[in-house]
Structure 1
Amino acid sequence: MKINHELYTMCMIEKDDKVLLINRPTKRGFPGYIAPGGKVDYPESIVDGAIREVREETGLIVTDIIYKGLAEYCEPQTGLRSMVFNYLATSFEGELLEDPPEGELIWIEKDKAMELPMQDWFRSRFPLFFQTGTFEISLVWDKENQAAISSIEKNYVERVKVT
Structure 2
Amino acid sequence: MTEQSTAERPAIAAAVIVSHGQVLMVRRREREGQLSWQFPAGEVEPGETGADAAIRETREEVGLKVDVDRLLGERVHPATGRRMIYVACTVLDGTAHVADEDELAEVEWCDRAKLTSYVPYPFFGPVQDYFDTRLA
Residue 114 of structure 2 aligns to a residue in which SS?
Answer: helix
The residue aligned with 2:89 is 89
Query: 1:145-160 alignment to 2 at 5 Å?
Result: none
Which of the pair has more CA radius of gyration? 1
Matching residue of 2:134: none
Return closer, same or farther for 1:99/1:38 CA change in 2, 3 Å cut-off.
Answer: closer
Match of residue 105 from structure 1: 107
C-alpha separation in 1, matches of 2:67 and 2:108 = 20
Identity value in percent: 22
TM-score (structure 2 length as normaliser): 0.73
User: For residues 113 and 130 of structure 1, do their structure 2 counterparts lie closer, same or farther at Cα, with a shift above 3 Å needed?
Assistant: same
For residue 122 of structure 2, the aligned residue among 121, 124, 129 is 124
Match of 1:29 among 20, 29, 32: 32
Alpha-carbon spacing, 1:114–1:47, altered in 2? closer, same or farther (3 Å): same
Does residue 44 (structure 1) correspond to residue 48 (structure 2)? The answer is yes
TM-score by length of 1: 0.62
* Shift in alpha-carbon separation, 1:16–1:126, aligned structure 2, 3 A: farther
CA contact (8 A) 2:23 2:111 kept: yes
Q: Show the counterpart of 1:144.
A: none
Pick 1 or 2: higher relative contact order, CA cutoff 8 A, min separation 6. Answer: 2
The CA RMSD over aligned residues, in Å, is 2.7
- How many matched pairs? 121
> Does 2:4 match 1:6?
no
Whether the 8 Å CA contact 2:55–2:68 is kept in 1: the answer is: no
Gaps of 5+ in 1: 75-80, 133-163
Contact 1:72–1:82 (CA under 8 A) maintained in structure 2: yes
Structure with higher strand content = 1
**Deviations, residues 97-150 of structure 1 (Å, cap 9, x unaligned):** 35543220011112431012x4x6xx3226642416xxxxxxxxxxxxxxxxxx
